[in-house]
Amino acid sequence: MVPRKVNHIHQSLFEANVTIEEVNIALDDMANEKLERIDGIPCEFYKATWDFIGYPILNLYKEVITQ
């Protein structure tokens, strides 16, 4: 069961400053040829286009988190 509230430990993880290096590592760890993600886009797309879309996506994430 998913908790309805975020505890202070998880909240601090969400508020942490995510770096492009951390996202690169996570992206490299993602398995290819798996089912599409919740957004409908396979991870191969992100891997193939990350040099172009990485910073805009990271900046969007940071903006959403800080609102």
For residue range 6-43, list pLDDT tens digits in order: 677 776 766 667 888 888 888 888 878 766 667 778 88
Cα distances from 21 to residues 9, 55, 65, in angstroms, run 22, 11, 18
Residue 9: the pLDDT is 72
Question: Span 2-7, mean pLDDT?
Answer: 67
Give the Cα separation of 23 and 8 in Å (integer).
23
Q: Does the pLDDT at position 55 exceed 80?
A: yes
Give the Cα separation of 20 and 25 in Å (integer).
9
